A and B are shown apart, each in its own frame.
Chain A
Amino acid sequence: MKMKLIVTRRVKPLRYGGVVIPLLSLIIGVVISQLILWAVGVPPELFYGTMAGSFIAPEMLRPFVLLTILGAALLVAFIGAVWNIGAEGQIIWGMIVAAYIGVFVAAHSIKVPLSELPKYESMPGAQVLDATYGVVSVVLWNPVLAGLVMILAAAAVGAVWAAISGALRAYLEIDEVASTLIMNYIAYYSLNQLATGPMRGLSVQAAQFGRTDALNDALRFPRLPIPGTTVTTVEVILAVIAFVGVWFMLKYTSFGLRLKILGSNPNALKAAGVDTRKYITLALTLSGLIAGTVGAALFAGDYFFLGKIDNIVSPPTQNMGYTAILVAWLAMLDIRAIPISAYIIAGLMQSGATLQANLGTMAGLSGMISGAAITYTLIGFVLLTFSVLRVLTEYRIRFVRGGPK
C-alpha cells in the first residue's frame, strides 16, 4: 500500500518542549561548533574537555548570576511585546550613579600632604589610593547603607532611562527597538564624558587615564566565599529577588497577567478598560529598574571605578545587556527557564574563554582564535539550532496510508 507523508501544524505545543528544545539545541549547537573548530585545528578531546569543565567552573558563576538578573529584567518587557534592547544603557547609568554615590557621597577622596599619609594608613575607613599624589579615600557612610543606596539609586536611574523609551513608544508611537538601542550609545558616551570630566578622580591613574577614583575597599561588595569565583553576595541576593519577584508578579498579580495579555492581545486589554499605554511604559520602566541594579553590582563588585570606554564594542557591561536578550529568548519567555538558559549561555561564554587560554599553550594555535570568537560561534550555533527546532516542533509529520491514485 502506498504511503503519503503530510506535514501538519500542531494544535497543542510539544510536551516538555520548554526543556527538550533548549537542551537539544545545546547539544546540536555544540557539536556543529566543534566540527568547525576541528577544521581549523582544535582537537576534539581538548574541545569537549574544556566544554565539560567550563560548565562546572566556579568562574562561570558570576555571568550566570548576572545573566539571570538581566534575563528576568528583559523578560518583563518582552512578555508584553515591548522590546527592551537597551539593558546596556540601563546598566551603564546604574554604574554611573553607583559610582557617584560610592566615590563622591558615601565616601570621598581628599588630597593630603605626603607627610600625613602614614596617619591615614592606620585610620579605619580611610584608604590611601595614591601614595605619589597623596590621595586618600575616606568613608563617610555605613557600608551597608552605602551599598543599599547604590543599588536603589542604580535601579531608579535604570528605570528612568528605560521609561523615556517606554513613554516615547506608548504616547508617540516611536519604535522602542530603535530608541532603546540608540540610547545605549548615548549612555556609553555619557559615561565617557562624566568619567573624563566632572567625575574624574584625583589619583595619578585617574588623571592619566580619565577615570574616577577607586571605590574604597570598605564599600566594595563582599565576594561569595567560593574559591575561583568573583561573584558577590549582593549579586546572588539580587538574582533571587529578581527571579522570585518576576515569577510572583507574572503569576499572582493582575499587573503581570495584563502584561502577558499586552504581549498577545493588546486590543482585548483596551476593551477591558486597561490603559495599554501606561502598561507599555511600566513594562519598560520595570525592566530598566532591574537592569539598573546590575550597574551597581558591576561597579561595586567588579570594576570599582568608572573608566573611559576606549573601545565602544567592549564596554564594561561586557555586552551582557545584549547577551541577556538571548537568555530571555532561549527561555522562550518563561521565567522558570531563565536560570537554566542563563546557565547555558554563561557556560558557553566560559567555554570560549577557557578554550582560548588552553589553546594559547598549544604550538601554532596561540592567538589564532580569540575566546570571543569561540564563544559567539558556540552561542550562534546553539541559538540557530534553537530557532530552527522551535519552528519545526510546531509541526508534525504524519504518514497516512493510501496516497492519491
Chain B
Amino acid sequence: MSEAQTKTSVFTQNPNSSNEVVLEAKNIVKRFPGVVALDHVSFNVRKGEILALLGENGAGKSTLVKILYGVYVPDEGEIAVEGRRVFITSPLEAIKLGISMVSQVPQIIGSLTVAENIILGLSKYGMISKISRVKEFIREESKRTGIEVDPDIEVWKLSYTQKQLVELLRSVILGAKVIMLDEAITFLPIQEKRRFYEFLRRFVGQGGSAILITHKIPEALEAADRITVLRRGKVVGTVDAKKTTLDQVRKMMFGERSSEITYERLPPSKPTEEVVVDVEDLWVLGAHGEYAVKGVTLEVRAGEVYGIAGVAGNGQLELIQSVIGLRKPVKGSVRVKLNSKPIDVSKVGIGKIRSIGVGYIPDEPLKFGVSMENNIEENLAMLPSITNGIIRWGRIKKLAESLIKDFDIKTPSSKTKVKLLSGGNLMKVLVSRELMVSKKLLVAYNPTRALDEVTAIMVRKRIKEKALNEKLAVLMASEDLDEVLQVSDKIAVMNSGKIVRVFNAQEAKREEIEKLMVM
C-alpha cells in the first residue's frame, strides 16, 4: 500500500458511522477532596466512530475515562451501554461490558509470551479460546497492520510499538465494543502511528468504537470523527472533526492561552566550552540482562540542551539512568563536572551529584518522581538538596507555594497529597521541583509527558531560559520528536542502543530523523 493510499484510507472520516449510541455518560459528577473533577459531564460515543476526548491538564479527561473503566465510581450521574443503564464498579465489570483501555504504559507481563498474555486475559474474564486460534489471530493482524509480532515471543523482547499492538489486539479479542486509548499511541513514530490509526479505522468500520485521548491535537483532527472538549471539569462542546479547525479546538481547550502555543524552534542557547557531562563508550545492561546501551559517547556543555530522539525502548532510558547514577554501566564511564573536579558517576552513584545540584526528571514519574502518599511540601522536602537534618516547614511551605503559583499547579493546598492531583499537575510538581534544584545540570526523560500543549511549551521555555541565562547543561531524552526539535541545540538519534547520528539543531530535518529512528 502506498503512502498516499494509507493517508486516504486512514485519515478520512467514516461515512458509515451511524447515530446509534454505544456508550453514554449523563451528568457525571465526581468530587475529590477540594476539587470538583467532573461537573455534570455528558457525552456519548456512537457506534462505528472514533471520538477524541481533549482538554488541558486537570480538565478531567483521565477521571472520566477512569470512571468508564470502573476505577472510580461517579458521585452522581448515569452511564449507559447500548441504552441500558450500567454500574461499572471495577475494570473487570467494564471489560465484561465491552469497554477496554489501552494506556501509555503497556500493562502486559514481560516474562510471558504474547499468546500467553492474551490467553491469561481471556481466562481472567471467564472467556475461553483455543491458543491456536489466538495465535492465528495475532499472526493475521500482525500481517495486516504491518507490525511484526510473533505470538510465541516473550513480551520483554518486543519494542514499545509491538507491545502497544498486543494491548490493542487483546482488547479486540476480549470482545471490546469501545476501546479507550489514553495517550497510548502518542509517542509512536509517525509511520507506525498511521498503522495504528488504520487498525482503529478497521475496528470501527466493523462496528466498534474508540475513544482517543491525546495532547496532539492535529492528530485528533485527522483521525477522529468527532471531538469532545473538556475544560475544568465541564464539557465545552462536541464538534465534528471534519468541520472544525486546529485553532478552534485549541481555543475551546485553553481559551485565551491558546495563543501561547507554538512549535517553532526556541532560540538557540549559547553553550560555553565547559563540558559538564562526558560519556565515553558506555555499555549498559537493560532489565533483562541484554545490552540496552551499546557504546554511547557524548558530551554536553554548559548552557547546551542535548536532546536524544528515539522510539521508546531503544536504550535512551538506560542511558539516562546511568548518567544520573541509578544504573551501573558494564563498561565505559560517565563523568559529570559540577565544580572543578569531574565526578565519576558510575563509581559514586546518584546521591553525590543529586545533593550538589543535579536535577532529574525520571521516566515513570509516579514511581520514581514523586511519593504519592505524601503531600506537595513533603515531596519537596524529601530531596537532600532541599533539606538535610531539621526541616523548617515554614520555608518549605513558601517554596511549595511559589512553585504552585509559578507553574499554575491546580491543588487545594500545598498540603494536599500528590495522589489526589491530576496527572498533569502531578507532573508539574515534579518538573518545577527539579528545575528549581538544577544548578549545573538537568537530566530528563520525557520532561513534558502528560502535560498539555500550553504547559509543555511553558516547561520547554523554562528549560531553555535556564540554559541560556544560568548556563544549565541539559541532557534530555524524549519520545516526543516535536519536543526534541523545539528545545534542543544538539539532537542525537538513538536506535537499538546506539547513537546513530548527531545533528546541530539548525541542520536537523524531521523526516531524516524519523527515518533514523525506525530504520
Contacts and interface: CB of A to CB of B under 8 A. Distances in A.
A6 interface: yes
Given A271-B368, A272-B382, A6 B354 contact: no
Contact of B372 (A254, A258, A264, A273): A264
B131 interface: no
A149 B289 CA distance: 52
Interface stretch (A45-53, A113-121, A397-405): A397-405
A208 interface: no
Given A264-B374, A269-B382, A254 B387 contact: yes
Contact of A272 (B73, B85, B89, B383): B383
B87 A268 contact: no
Given A252-B390, A261-B382, A268-B370, A404 B350 contact: no
Contacts of A398: 73
B133 interface: no
B32 to A, nearest CB: 6
Contact of B84 (A4, A12, A404): A404
Nearest to B370: A268
Given A8-B73, A264-B374, A272 B354 contact: yes
B384 A404 contact: no
A404 B86 contact: yes
Interface in B82-137: 84-87, 89
Interface in A210-224: none
Interface residues of B, number: 42
Contacts of B371: 261, 264-265, 268-269
A7 interface: yes
Interface in A241-280: 252-255, 257-258, 260-261, 264-265, 267-275
A289 B131 CA distance: 58
Nearest to B373: A264
Nearest to B387: A254
B360 A265 contact: no
Interface string B354-396: 1100001010000111111110001001111101111101000
A11 interface: yes
Contacts of B50: none
Interface string B267-292: 00000000000000000000000000
B56 to A, nearest CB: 22
B391 A273 contact: no
B158 interface: no
A122 to B, nearest CB: 54
B15 interface: no
Given A252-B391, A261-B374, A274 B326 contact: no
Which residue, of A6, A11, A255, A272, has the highest number of chain B Cβ atoms within 10 A? A272
Interface string B385-424: 1011111010000000000000000000000000010000
Contacts of B391: 252-254, 257
Nearest to B30: A11
B279 to A, nearest CB: 19
Interface residues of A, number: 31
B255 interface: no
Contacts of B476: none
B382 A271 contact: no
Which residue, of A258, A265, A270, has the highest number of chain B Cβ atoms within 10 A? A265
Which residue, of B32, B352, B373, has the highest number of chain A Cβ atoms within 10 A? B373
Nearest to B353: A273
A405 B83 CA distance: 11
B381 A11 contact: no
Contact of B367 (A260, A268, A273, A275): A268
Given A12-B33, A254-B387, A273-B354, A267 B367 contact: yes
Contacts of A273: 350-355, 360, 383-385
A363 B407 CA distance: 77
A254 B386 CA distance: 10
Contacts of B389: 253-255
B37 to A, nearest CB: 10
B370 A4 contact: no
Interface in B46-101: 72-73, 78, 84-87, 89
Contacts of B86: 404
Contacts of B369: 268, 271
A272 B387 CA distance: 12
B354 A267 contact: no
Interface string B221-234: 00000000000000
A226 to B, nearest CB: 37
A271 B390 contact: no
A268 B32 contact: no
B390 A405 contact: no
A400 B87 contact: yes
A159 B73 CA distance: 48
Contacts of B385: 273
A403 B72 CA distance: 19
A154 B273 CA distance: 58
Which residue, of A11, A400, A402, has the highest number of chain B Cβ atoms within 10 A? A11
Contacts of B388: 254
A4 B387 CA distance: 51
Given A254-B384, A271-B362, A272-B382, A260 B374 contact: yes
Nearest to B364: A267
Nearest to B417: A12
Which residue, of B32, B355, B372, B374, has the highest number of chain A Cβ atoms within 10 A? B374
Contacts of A260: 374, 378
Contact of B381 (A257, A264, A269, A405): A257
Contacts of A255: 389
B33 A11 contact: yes
A269 B349 CA distance: 13
Contact of A254 (B73, B350, B352, B381): B381
A267 B366 CA distance: 10
B24 to A, nearest CB: 15
Contacts of A11: 32-33, 72, 420
Contacts of A269: 371, 382
B85 A271 contact: no
A184 B468 CA distance: 60
A267 B350 CA distance: 12
Contacts of A258: 382
A3 to B, nearest CB: 12
A279 to B, nearest CB: 11
B390 A253 contact: yes
A257 to B, nearest CB: 6
A375 B367 CA distance: 43
Nearest to A276: B351
A398 B324 CA distance: 48
A405 B87 CA distance: 12
21 contacts: A6-B73, A6-B87, A11-B420, A252-B390, A252-B391, A253-B390, A253-B391, A254-B382, A254-B391, A257-B382, A257-B387, A260-B378, A261-B374, A267-B368, A268-B367, A268-B369, A270-B326, A272-B354, A400-B87, A404-B84, A405-B85
Given A252-B393, A265-B371, A271-B324, 19 more contacts: A6-B87, A11-B32, A252-B391, A257-B374, A257-B387, A260-B378, A265-B367, A270-B326, A271-B369, A272-B382, A272-B383, A273-B351, A273-B354, A400-B87, A402-B85, A404-B84, A404-B85, A404-B86, A404-B87
| A-B pairs, 6 with minimum CB distance | A273-B354, A8-B73, A264-B373, A271-B368, A265-B371, A254-B387
